[in-house]
Structure 1
């Protein structure tokens, strides 16, 4: 499956908001602990993406979207840069999502690698992320060279409301 990967501007975020909302709801329906419960609506998901507009506009959040040839959103990933002076060398990798229809073709790894390369190009030397402990995402992060550094028990609820552990990872970037 061929995909187009692009960095979104604030206007691009607006243009892709419905597709991003559908992607987020697909992840939630598949059980991903990504901040939303199973009862989340399309309007709530779209409003959450809209709330990111200021951080995308000011460049503190770099947000990429992967689309198929028909323009359907199949994946996304973002880097949120630290704004405090003592942490400007790092960012958090957030919302790496791949639609169920596009899984198994390497899109998640492509998004991850793209975000890491962009972080390097921006002069960042440290990336952080968290994910549900025991999730398939952990395999991706470990095989991509990320290092686990702790687990918080009962940190976040799964879409069905059950508290789950969250695993934290970091990756030191080399130029």
Structure 2
């Protein structure tokens, strides 16, 4: 049931205050095999440092962070919109770090996060969104169901958290 989950954009103060909770989600996802720029073992401390940097980016207006939280305020998932782009691409943004804790999956949270991040993009005047994901992973089905267009695959683009190579599939969407 997703009626008890709220999706919202957080501001700079909340982004800074939520670094511990966001780090918990990141560590959980990486431990579950998510290829999201980190290798195993991912320490909580390293994850907190990452989220502190993201909070600074939110404060500078370079990123938007959205969270999915339950009625008790526990963060179940998150997604980012990278707003800062080169000057010849002011209409574009990147979707990054789509994370839903393993215990919260299969509840429609990721789909709701994606719809919300697209709405934030429109509010920010962004009309072209791009993202990348592990080729063959569960997220590909989500993005395809949500109307994202597949651009192509780069084999051996990144590493899985355990060190194995993985292909990366690139997607775009006009919003």
Would you say same fold, with TM above 0.5? yes
1:21 maps to 23
Q: TM-score when scaled to structure 1?
A: 0.95
Residue correspondence of structure 1 range 9-158 to structure 2 within 5 A: 9-158=11-160
Using the TM superposition, give the Cα deviation of residue 88 of structure 1 relative to its aligned residue in structure 2, in angstroms: 0.5
Q: Deviations over 1:22-80 (max 9, x none)?
A: 10011111111001112110000010111112210021100011111222110101100
1:171 maps to 173
Return the alpha-carbon distance in structure 2 between the equivalents of residues 83 and 164 of structure 1. 26
Using the TM superposition, give the Cα deviation of residue 121 of structure 1 relative to its aligned residue in structure 2, in angstroms: 2.2
1:5 maps to 7
Aligned alpha-carbon RMSD (Å): 1.1
The count of corresponding residues between Structure 1 and Structure 2 is: 173
Q: Which moved more, 1:111-120 or 1:80-89?
A: 80-89
2:162 maps to 160
Return the alpha-carbon distance in structure 2 between the equivalents of residues 96 and 156 of structure 1. 16
Q: TM-score when scaled to structure 2?
A: 0.95
Q: Which portions of structure 1, spanning 4 or more consecutive aligned residues, are displaced by more than 2 angstroms?
A: none
